[in-house]
Structure 1
């Protein structure tokens, strides 16, 4: 096991085995996300893009009660400068994370809300602790629209109506409900979760490099997702979406 030499303050990235990385988030006391978090996530994604032998990247947390919490509104806005995709900072990160050749996994223990949920949704696989995992998009309480790709990614997973419920209520959802909705890949007892994810990662590392080749329909979905992200940039950042506006229709399907 080798600690990766990246200039990070909120993350530790460890190479468990050749081709198997774990990125552990640790920003006390409750893992709120800030502009520093976004910058360090971008650095991790950039390193992953350059690692030809990377096969599995797992995101987890040092705090069992908080996976990734929402963005810390008191810390000021996220950087708005576009990344290589042409999208603003956090959207750029989630799109590039979803485009990695390696398989990405979110090991969710504790709360994953707002940007934390959007990061988990950008991963290929999401495994949640039955006793502690809580997911949600609470932006409605601040008159905001989720702008990290959460709604666009939720629609194909849970359906349009449930996505509207999640966004319009801002409610929290436990792991069991999230599994039933299709939001997470599987909900497991907390004691079993790390071992399950680790075994999956080790199995994948032992196989051929890269992820399985997508079905042509998956590529069509990815192009649609990018279009929806672009629409979010144009209308979602202008303010809260209202029922019946082009922005609200575009973001929900």
Structure 2
């Protein structure tokens, strides 16, 4: 595996742990290129028995994965091949399926914010530890006039229950690490200064185990079969995203600084203002 072949992420492997750093400036959107490279690197690691754990972190301390790149809708024809490789109903669910079925244990080290497709990525990983002072999670798709299309509805229902899933989906609020942990969205909130050490400690404990033990544990605690649920989620997302409102909202969002650091720091306020202006 050529560890230097990627444009939007970097990889370092040591002592049974592959550390993947997401690096897609300025705010780490989940772009077509990043999705391709995630497919490539996870595929390359899949059969590497020397790697027991994969840790994901971000080169940007503010943003783990901001959300799916708004411009990706213009690239969908060129990404059909990737969508066809997974058991998800669409490209975005396919990213979650990669993570959910990776033979290694996948861990997210969440120092910054992850919204929409970024939050789906976090929930699809096996384990997540988040910085108490700086991390945030938000399933914010309704602010763009759509519903989650990358597995978010199902991941939330499994992790936090139906009532909290509806709260998170329909308020689109950014949730802090302590609340996310209390809801069951993540494993644990820890002080930011201790986040790296906590994740490293968990990763090293798992990495000394044999691949057979890890495989047995993951087989005995399997991810749910979401085939039908994925299709239902995709159909709802596709119907909404093809309407006129999401395009208007996304266009105005870009004009108001979304996908820049300034616009993403308080995305919810920006999008609520955009939604009000569009509806007036």
Asked whether the two chains share a fold, i.e. TM above 0.5, the reply is yes
Paired positions, count: 235
- Residue 38 of structure 2 is matched in structure 1 by 41
TM-superposed deviation, 1:86 = 4.5
Structure 1 residue aligned with 2:51: 54
Which of 129, 132, 149 is 1:127 aligned to?
Answer: 129
Q: Does the alignment pair 1:196 with 2:198?
A: yes
TM-score norm. by structure 2 comes to 0.78
CA shift, 1:150, in A, is 1.2
Say whether 1:65 aligns with 2:62: yes
Counterparts of 1:215 and 1:48 in 2: how far apart (Å)? 18
What does residue 217 of structure 2 align with? 213
SS in 1 for 2:217: coil
Give the corresponding residue for 1:250.
Answer: none
Tell me what 2:150 maps to: 148
Counterpart CA distance in 1 for 2:75 and 2:137 is 21
- Segments ≥4 residues shifted beyond 4 Å: none
- Counterpart in the other structure of 1:112: 114
Q: With structure 1 as the length reference, what TM-score do the two structures score?
A: 0.86
Q: How big is the shift at 1:74?
A: 3.8
Cα distance in structure 2, aligned partners of 1:134 and 1:13: 24
Does 1:20 find its partner at 2:22?
Answer: no
2:185 to 177, 183, 186: 183
Within 1, Cα distance between the matches of 2:128 and 2:53? 13
Q: Which runs of 5 or more structure 1 residues have no equivalent in the other structure? A: 241-253
Q: For 1:107 and 1:215, how far apart are their aligned partners in 2?
A: 24
Aligned in 2, Cα 1:214/1:66: closer, same or farther, shift over 3 Å?
Answer: closer
What per-residue deviation string (whole Å, max 9, x for no partner) do you get for residues 8-34 of structure 1? Answer: 1010011022x2101001122221221
Q: Is the 8 A contact 2:87 2:97 kept in 1?
A: no
Structure 2: 5+ residue runs without aligned partners? 242-280
How far apart in 1 are the matches of 2:228 and 2:207? 32
Q: 2:102 & 2:72 partners in 1: Cα distance?
A: 29
Partner of 1:233: 234
Instruction: Pick closer, same or farther for the CA change 1:238–1:9 going to 2, 3 Å.
Output: same
Select the structure that is richer in helix: 2
